[in-house]
Each structure stands twice: as structure tokens, then as C-alpha cells.
Amino acid sequence: MAGLELLSDQGYRLDGRKATELRKVQARMGVFAQADGSAYLEQGNTKALAVVYGPHEMRGSRSRTLHDRAVINCQYSMATFSTAERKRRPHGDRKSTEMSLHLKQTFEAAVMTQLYPRSQIDIYVKILQSDGGNYSVCVNAATLAVIDAGIPMRDYVCACTVGFVDETPLADLCYAEESGGVSSLALALLPRGGQIALLQMDARLHQDHLETLIEAAMTACKGVSKVLDQVVRQHLEEVSMLTGE
């Protein structure tokens, strides 16, 4: 009894997008001066803030030190005002822990950690407003923050969610679509090489459809990467104008 019609007969989604269209992405880098890197990213109504500290020497328990590469430490949290009903616990709950773990895995695949042995990189992400696709927005914001911190990466890590409705993949789900019982898949991609950094899906989907879904997700990720690239270039221009003169 899905009350909402997620994809109309004419091919429009609830918010007026077509199936393959992304939400509007806006981003800024270097929003905080005291952190090593920071970025703010909006994807539709989902807004996230990412901050990167490091690389610096290990803090806390030194036993976690790795001798050949850096340790990546991620923390994901949601602002208490980020959802329609006030959230009780901003971080540390089961969902946030899982999300932190996923972020960590993603960035371990993308950041060239072997350049910084025995050190640590901290990535903190906070969702300020949540409207679906939290994971992918976090990844995209964190990518910008890592770039802002000047930590070398193999490539941009771009993430996007894709849902499957009426035999059609829908790119970049918003909250209304996510909660409408769509089986959705989140994918983080290193677009240039086409390597998948993370693929996550916890819904039921027929095996036959998986390939088309991944295909659609990769296209969407490439779209995101173009936007991120533009943001980075624009930021560099601004910065170089400031420092150059």
C-alpha cells in the first residue's frame, strides 16, 4: 500500500525530477579556518558539514598505530535538529556507528594512506539537515574536506544512492522516496578508474536487476564527480586569487 506514486506515468518523480536526474548540489570548501580541511555540502535538502584533522601523530591508544600507513578515524553524527522530529542522541547510536564504519572503509580505499605511516587522519561529518541519501552526502562532503586538507587521494570519492521503482532505477533518492519502500543501493565510486569503494544495499532485489542498478549508480556518481571537480577548481581559483596578489 505505497500511498505515493514515486514515478508518474509521464516519468516525473515526486519532486519533479526525472528518473536519472540528481538533486541540486552546492558546496563550499574551507569553511572553518582552525581545522586542517573542511567543507559544507548541500544535496537538495540534505546538508552536511565535514571536517578533517590530520595527518597527525596517533592520539589516544597508540596500540592502533599502523607501521605502513595512516589510520583513518571517522565519526558520523547527526544534528539533533536535522530531522523532522528532534533527535535524542546526536551520535553513538547503532546507526551512526555503522555509518562511521562505512565512511572509514570508503576513505581507506581512496586516501593514499601509505604516504603517512604511523599517523592518523580524523574525519568528522555532521548532518545538519537530513532529507535522504545521508551516506552519500557525507562521502561527498568528506571528499571535499580531505582535498581541502591537502591529503592526497587516488581520486574523488563520489557516492550516490539509487532506488528501484517500476523496473526503473531512480538516482539520488530523497527522504520521501527512501521511506516509500523502495529497495535502495548506495555506491561510492572512484570515477576515473571506475573502481567501487563501497557498495551497500540492505533491501531485497532480484538478481537480474542488480546490474542495471549499479550501472545507474555509477552514472550518477560520475555526475556528482563533475560537480565536485567544479567546486574544487572554483575554490582553488578563489584561494589563488587571494594568495597570489
Partner 1 sequence: MIKTERILHLKSCRGRKVRVVREHYLRERVPCYSGMCQAGCANDGKVLPGDLTHYVVPDVGVVVDYLEILEFREMQGIIFTQTACQAVQHSKGRRQSNRLRNLLKEPRHDCVLFANEFQQYSFCPREKGESQEKWQTRCVYSAAVWYYNHLAGMMDIVMITDDQEAVDQYSSLSSGVYVITVRDYLQNFWPDLQAAHELYASVSQVLQEKESEGKEGEYGEHLPPEVLEAGIKSGRYIQGTLNVSKHRAQTEAFVMMEGFSNKSSDIGCRVLVHGDKSRNRAVHGDVVVMELLPKSEWRGKVTALSEGQGAEKSGEDESKPLPTGRVVGILQRNWRDYVVTFPPREGPQSQSRNSQRILAVPWDYRIPKIRISTQQADALQDHRVVVRIDSWESSSLYPNGHSVRVLGRAGELETEVQTILIENSIHVPPFSDAQLREMPVNSPEKPWKVDPAQVAARRDLRESHLIFSIDPKGCEDVDDTLSVRSLAGGKTLELGVHIADVTHFVKEGSITDLEARTRATTYYLADRRYDMLPAVLSGDLCSLLGGVDRYAMSVMWELDAHTLAVNQVWYGRTIIRSSYQLHYELAQALLNGEQAEVPELARLGSERKDDRLAELTQALETLTHIARQLRAQRDQGGALELEGVEVRAQLDEEKNITALVPRQPLEVHETVAECMIYANHWVARKIQETFPHQALLRHHPPPRQEFFSQLLESARARGFTIDTITNKALANSLDRAVDPEDPLVNRLLRMMTTQAMSEALYFSTGSQSLDQFYHYGLALDRYTHFTSPIRRYADIVVHRLLTAAIAAEGEGAPGKGLASNKELEEMSRHINSKNRAAKRAQKLSTELFQCLFFKDRDPQTDLRCLADAVIYSIRDDGVLVFVSEYGVKGPVYLKNREGQVVTFGQDGSCEWQSGSVRRYPDHISTTSACNTSTFRLFNHITVRISVYSSHCHADRLNLEVISNKPYRSTEAQQPRSEGRCQLVQEVVRLAEEASQQAQEKAARGPKLSREERKFCQSKTPNLYSLLEEVRELALMDPEMIPQVCATEE
The residues binding partner 1 (CB under 8 A) are 5, 8-10, 12, 14-17, 21-25, 44-45, 84-85, 131, 167, 174, 176, 220, 223-224, 226-227
Shortest Å, Cβ 47 to partner 1: 11
Q: What secondary structure does DSSP assign to 183-241, as a single string?
A: EEEEEEEETTTTEEEEEE--S---HHHHHHHHHHHHHHHHHHHHHHHHHHHHHHHHHHH
Asked if 28 and 96 touch (Cβ cutoff 8 Å), the reply is no
Helices and strands, counts by H and E, the chain: 4, 9
Q: Which CB sits closer to partner 1, 4 or 115? A: 4
Nearer to partner 1, 123 or 174 (CB): 174
Amino acid at 151: I
Minimum distance from residue 223 beta carbon to partner 1 (Å): 4
Closer to partner 1 by Cβ: residue 95 or 226: 226
With cell 539520488, the residue in question is 172
Residue 44 C-beta: closest distance to partner 1, Å = 5
What whole-number distance in Å separates Cα of residue 230 and Cα of residue 104?
A: 25
Supply the minimum distance, in Å, between the C-beta of residue 40 and partner 1.
16
Q: Are 188 and 196 in contact (CB under 8 A)?
A: yes
Do the Cβ atoms of 57 and 118 come closer than 8 Å?
Answer: yes
CB of 20 to partner 1, least distance (A): 8
CB nearer to partner 1: pick between 167 and 211: 167
Nearer to partner 1, 29 or 224 (CB): 224
Taking the complex as a whole, how short is the minimal distance between the CB of residue 74 and partner 1, in angstroms? Answer: 27
Residue closer to partner 1 (CB basis): 15 or 98: 15
108 Cβ contact list (under 8 Å, min separation 6): 72
* Residue entry with cell 573502481: 195
